[in-house]
């Protein structure tokens, strides 16, 4: 698989076989991407207890969350900044100031907010940045509801067990598909799903719905009927696709 990559990618990735990833997990994926890309700057939107943020190995890291579950001042240093505020406020105050190599979007799990986070972060990225969007593949109609409590209520009423909760972030992938012809993406079909996005034009660009309204009104069943749009791949194939995308000649 590795020999398909360009020379630049091969050089950067010497000795970094996908096999070294070991177990699945967000931290391992982000660290694999960070190492492969040589990432020096990282932004995480939605940090909670810092389980992911604190374990991502990138020199300069910025964390944004209105409610950190820890005291950020204990962990702050020259290269690690914590912004206790909603993502909208962060982007409104820091637009254009910074560029990030790697971004993890894991804030409020609604389509509208993740769409806004996604659009707001784009000017903070460059030709070889990667944006990883969390929770993009809900396994059932309940997990795909934008309101977590309502999802739990409906699940319980239906006697449905398991599946977790994603929110309706999956709609963002349809919006990227229909409205961002200069971006490529692939979805890791594991756990609750994560979609990686990078700058690479899609020559086969053809909008499916061509309507923000239709996308925002989508249901989980609509997603299932149009699953090809999600570009689902297993983890290794997906990460390989990202690496060949950003290091293409």
Ligand X SMILES: C[S@@+](CC[C@H](N)C(=O)[O-])C[C@H]1O[C@@H](n2cnc3c(N)ncnc32)[C@H](O)[C@@H]1O
Contact set with ligand X (CB under 6 A)? 26, 44-48, 51-52, 64-67, 86-87, 106-108, 113
Output the CA angle 33-36-41, nearest 5 degrees: 65
Q: What is the DSSP string of 133-178?
A: EE----SSTTTT-S-HHHHHHHHHHHT--------STHHHHHHHHH
| 51, two tokens | 């389980």
Residues whose CB falls within 8 Å of the CB of residue 45, separated by 6 or more in sequence, listed in order:
64, 65, 87, 90, 103, 104, 105, 106, 107, 117, 121
User: Based on CB atoms, which residue is closest to ligand X, 52 or 189?
Assistant: 52
CB of 218 to ligand X, least distance (A): 22
Greatest extent of the chain over all pairs of C-alpha atoms, in Å: 55
Distance linking the first and last C-alpha atoms of the chain:
17
Nearer to ligand X, 44 or 240 (CB): 44
Q: Report the residue number, 44 or 178, with the smaller CB distance to ligand X.
A: 44
Q: Which is nearer to ligand X, 62 or 171 (CB)?
A: 62
Q: Which residue number, 29 or 171, has a Cβ lying nearer to ligand X?
A: 29
Beta carbon of residue 151, minimum distance to ligand X (angstroms, whole number): 14
Smallest gap from Cβ 209 to ligand X, in A, equals: 26
Q: Which is nearer to ligand X, 134 or 233 (CB)?
A: 134
**In angstroms, what is the minimal distance from the CB of 199 to ligand X?**
23
For residue 170, the minimal CB distance to ligand X (Å) is: 15
Rounded to 5 degrees, φ, ψ at 160 are: -85, 135
DSSP percent split of the chain into helix, strand, coil, nearest 5: 40, 15, 45
Q: What residue number has its CB nearest to ligand X?
A: 46
CB of residue 18 to ligand X, shortest distance in Å: 22
């Amino acid at each position: 698989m590795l020999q398909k990559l360009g020379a630049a990618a091969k050089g950067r990735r010497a000795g970094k076989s996908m096999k070294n990833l070991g177990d699945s997990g967000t931290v391992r994926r982000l660290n694999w991407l960070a190492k492969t890309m040589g990432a020096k700057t990282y932004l995480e939107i939605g940090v909670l207890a810092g389980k992911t943020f604190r374990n991502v190995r990138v020199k300069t890291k910025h964390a944004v969350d209105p409610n950190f579950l820890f005291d950020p001042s204990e962990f702050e240093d020259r290269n690690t900044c914590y912004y206790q505020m909603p993502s909208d406020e962060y982007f409104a105050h820091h637009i254009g100031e910074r560029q990030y190599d790697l971004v993890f979007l894991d804030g409020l799990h609604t389509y509208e907010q993740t769409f806004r986070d996604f659009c707001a972060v784009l000017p903070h990225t460059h030709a070889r940045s990667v944006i990883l969007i969390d929770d993009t593949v809900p396994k059932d109609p309940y997990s795909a509801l934008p309101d977590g409590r309502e999802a739990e209520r409906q699940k319980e009423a239906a006697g449905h067990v398991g599946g977790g909760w994603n929110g309706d972030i999956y709609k963002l992938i349809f919006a990227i598909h229909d409205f961002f012809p200069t971006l490529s993406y692939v979805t890791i079909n594991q756990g609750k799903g994560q979609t990686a996005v990078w700058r690479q034009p899609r020559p086969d660009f053809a909008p499916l719905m061509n309507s923000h309204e239709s996308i925002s009104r989508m249901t989980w069943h609509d997603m299932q009927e149009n699953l090809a749009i999600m570009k689902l791949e297993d983890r290794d194939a997906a990460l390989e696709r990202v690496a060949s995308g950003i290091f293409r000649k």
